[in-house]
Amino acid sequence: PHRTSNHLNGFIQKLARKYGLKTIGRGSGRIVLAVDDRTVLKLARNKPGQEQNLFESSFYREQKNPVLNQVLDCASDGCWLKARRAKRLDNSCWNQLMEQVKLSPTQICDSIGELFSKGSIHPSKLTDEVMERFLVSDFGRNLSRLVETDLDCDDLCEFGSVQYGAVDEKPVIIDYGLSKEIGYKYYYDYN
């Protein structure tokens, strides 16, 4: 179910050339094309990609969480999803976040790792005071709201990874289409 047909790959390449779209991301289920400097199109490459688009769209509407990148539209069958285009996390975004949470970049990254790796066998690198300071910030509080949801948070442990970007100088999660159910159905090999 993870394979993309040569026909579909050819179609996506023709679509990109015809409309001047640039490929800016690719996963096993979806390919991300830049429509312009404010919008991206996430095209499903297979059934898991369709389900990821549908999950991301419904999750965005249900959660109303400002750390989730804005979904603008989605096909009813999940073949495509239109979203805000995020930039890479730059110094301006980092400075704004450090000012808000009153922590160093290392402490921010460690706090996010700790938040999303609960139950991990790795011992915590943080003091309770640092984690508490992170969780009382708007950003930390909004991230913590995602922990007990259907979202598979494993990929969110590393802040600054491809899962994160910046919109209007604020950090957002740009790839949150993987639910626990989709993960178990298509990706995790626990058999």
Span 40-52, average pLDDT: 95
- Mean pLDDT is lowest, of 8-17, 24-33, 54-63, for 8-17
**95: left (phi > 0), else alpha (psi -120 to 50), else beta?**
alpha
pLDDT one-digit tens code per residue, 99-116: 999 999 999 999 999 898
pLDDT tens-digit profile of 62-95? 999 999 999 999 999 999 999 999 999 888 899 9
Would you say residue 191 has pLDDT above 80? no
What span, in angstroms and rounded, lies between the C-alpha atoms of 177 and 78? 11
Between 127 and 75, the more confident residue is 75
How many C-beta atoms lie closer than 10 Å to residue 130's C-beta? 20
Q: 173's torsion region: left (phi>0), alpha (psi -120 to 50) or beta? A: beta
- Looking at per-residue pLDDT, the higher value among 190 and 37 belongs to 37
Q: What is the CA radius of gyration of the chain?
A: 17
Helix, strand or coil for residue 30?
strand
The pLDDT tens digits for 149-176 are 999 998 898 887 789 999 998 999 999 9
Q: Which comes out higher in pLDDT, residue 95 or 118?
A: 95
Residues ≥6 apart with Cβ < 8 Å to 4: 45, 46
